[in-house]
Amino acid sequence: MEQILNYIGGKLCAPTTGSFMNNINPATGAAYSQVADSDAADVAQAVIAAKGSFQAWSKMSLQNRAAVLMKIADLIDRDSDQLALAESIDQGKPVKLAKAVDIPRASANMRFFATASMHFASDSHLMEGEAINYTTRTPVGVVGCISPWNLPLYLFTWKIAPALAAGCSVVAKPSELTPMTAFLFSKLCIEAGLPDGVLNIVHGLGNKVGQAIIEHPEITAISFTGGTVTGKTIAATAAPMFKKLSLELGGKNPNIVFADCDFEKAVSTSIQSSFSNQGEICLCGSRILVERSLYDKFVSEFVNRTRELLVGDPLEEKTRVGALVSESHMNKVLGYIELAKQEGGKILCGGSRVKIEGRCEQGYFVAPTVIVGLDQNCRTNQEEIFGPVVTIMPFDSEEEAIGYANSNAYGLSATVWTENLTRAHRVAHQIKSGIIWVNCWLLRDLRTPFGGMKQSGVGREGGWEALRFFTEAKNVCIKL
Ligand code: TXE
């Protein structure tokens, strides 16, 4: 079976203990490769390599750094089918989605931050007749990037691209559930000529390798995407060490549909925002709020289209809903469906595990599920399920919709459907979320700040925010 090795000091290597873990294909339930089961000793080696490369990398010209990152992007494009297949096998998503979204976005991340770093403006402030201030930004040093399993290469590059472009050297840990594309990526880095030690990838468990990265005294900043519970653990460790922290956490995002919406667009996009990637995207709109006068029509059409979604083998082009990432995650999602029933919810479609004939018979599949009849304060509407499960609720006024939208601990994103422009602005400004989409979903401009409010995260990623995060500012004031 193929072994997924660490990438440390420019070399692919086994963990110091020599131990490996099974890497499971969630569509079949079977191990298809082995991933390094690394520990703190491997992280220590990675930090030494990262420190050793930092001076040369941070002193390299912006153009030369960008050229290496652009070369990696070219290699991602060259191998996009292989990477998409690996992403689909590792995470369970339809290969069609990996080809259309995950891999192109990974390449775009590398290109965006490579070029953005060359156009990064620095500030100066004139104190008339007194002094001139100028602000310089220098890379913070060795940073830790920890990424999740739902969009493996997409979110891995989303973190390491700005760090590398800013001149930092990196110790990265992809999720142990979906390590394959990061492993393939490390081979592309070697081929592209990324200097040894600039990027180090240490595979393994979160509470072992991840925790060792957070705790390492010579790692100055941490960029994390994952669950809110893990985010709390990381913050508790990193804060007393005065590390810079960027936490991109969970969401329970409202999708607000007013009666004056473009109905066809609202329904078709809501199917996407509910069930893409099996609902395993932190930006999915898992709470659909519909104005009462449109409620029955919307629910009927939405359920009909949900039933049409094909749950199947992720490698088949016609599949729209693949496997959930692991058996334990599938059981977590099924547990929430049972909870919804106990809380008085009515399951209009889906609601159970799906058995797929053939090679995927043991896979982790859940039918896209629509639940109505719940109130806003129940656990089903308060907690992140992170699966193909949405609730739909009616509202009678704009104020009520906004109240529902803001009524849980998360504040990552929201979607608003209305053809009334004034209302769109008014509602968007009152929703406590970091990202608001009006009459669209998941339309991403990489220049914009990305991140959540409340328990959806701390800090912002994306655009200049990400480059700033990986640098530290110094202000020089010179008397005129
Ligand atoms: O994420 P974890 P999980 C949500 C979603 C999901 C829940 C848990 O609701 O059900 O989080 O998912 C590493 N120190 N999201 O358990 O545990 C871990 O190895 C350092 C939303 O898969 O947060 C992995 O690489 N690192 C989110 C990464 O953290 C640690 C996407 C994420 O794992 C660690 C994913 C520790 N103590 C899940 N413990 C989003 N916002 O997109 C774990 N890790």
Encode pLDDT of 52-88 as tens digits.
999 999 999 999 999 999 999 999 999 999 999 999 9
User: Residue whose CA is closest, atom 18 of ligand 1?
Assistant: 206
- 477 catalytic per annotation: no
Cβ contacts of residue 100 below 8 Å, gap of 6+?
none
Which of these is catalytic: 87, 176, 248, 461?
248
User: What is the model's pLDDT at position 203?
Assistant: 98
As a whole-number percent, the residues of the chain with pLDDT over 70 amount to 100
CB 326 within 8 A of CB 26: yes
Q: DSSP of 205-217, one letter per residue? A: -IIIIIHHHHH-T
Give the chain's length: 480
> Is 149's C-beta closer than 6 angstroms to any atom of ligand 1?
yes
Which listed CATH number (3.40.309.10, 3.40.190.10, 1.10.1740.10, 2.40.50.140) goes with 254-445? 3.40.309.10
> Is 248's C-beta closer than 6 angstroms to any atom of ligand 1?
yes
- What is the 474 CA–ligand 1 centroid distance (Å)? 34
> Is 466's C-beta closer than 6 angstroms to any atom of ligand 1?
no
> Is 386's C-beta closer than 6 angstroms to any atom of ligand 1?
yes
User: What is the model's pLDDT at position 461?
Assistant: 82
Q: Which whole number is the average pLDDT over 393-406?
A: 98
User: What is the model's pLDDT at position 464?
Assistant: 86
> Is 211's C-beta closer than 6 angstroms to any atom of ligand 1?
yes
- Cα radius of gyration rounded to whole Å, the chain: 23
- What is the 386 CA–ligand 1 centroid distance (Å)? 12
Q: How confident is the model at residue 391 (pLDDT cuts 50, 70, 90)?
A: very high
pLDDT higher at 121 or 286: 286
Does position 116 have pLDDT exceeding 90, yes or no? yes
Q: Which whole number is the average pLDDT over 154-174?
A: 98
- What is the 226 CA–ligand 1 centroid distance (Å)? 4
User: pLDDT tens digits, residue range 422-447?
Assistant: 999 999 999 999 999 999 999 999 99
User: What is the model's pLDDT at position 421?
Assistant: 97
Euclidean distance between CA atoms 189 and 64, whole angstroms: 15
User: What is the model's pLDDT at position 424?
Assistant: 98
Euclidean distance between CA atoms 470 and 364, whole angstroms: 38
Determine the residue of 230, 237, 364, 384 to mutate for testing ligand 1's pocket, defined as the one with the most ligand atoms within 8 A of the Cβ atom: 230
Which of these is catalytic: 189, 282, 284, 360?
282
Residue spans of the domains in the chain: they are 2-249+456-479, 254-445
User: What is the model's pLDDT at position 121?
Assistant: 84
User: pLDDT tens digits, residue range 450-474?
Assistant: 999 999 999 888 888 999 999 999 9
> Is 280's C-beta closer than 6 angstroms to any atom of ligand 1?
no
CATH number 3.40.605.10 is the correct assignment for the domain at 2-249+456-479: yes
User: pLDDT tens digits, residue range 308-333?
Assistant: 999 999 999 999 999 999 999 999 99
User: What is the model's pLDDT at position 24?
Assistant: 98
Residue closest to 469 by CA, chosen among 249, 158, 228, 217: 158
- What is the 160 CA–ligand 1 centroid distance (Å)? 17
User: What is the model's pLDDT at position 373?
Assistant: 98
- 248 catalytic per annotation: yes
User: What is the model's pLDDT at position 156?
Assistant: 98
Average pLDDT, the chain: 97
Against a cut of 0.85, is the pTM above it?
A: yes
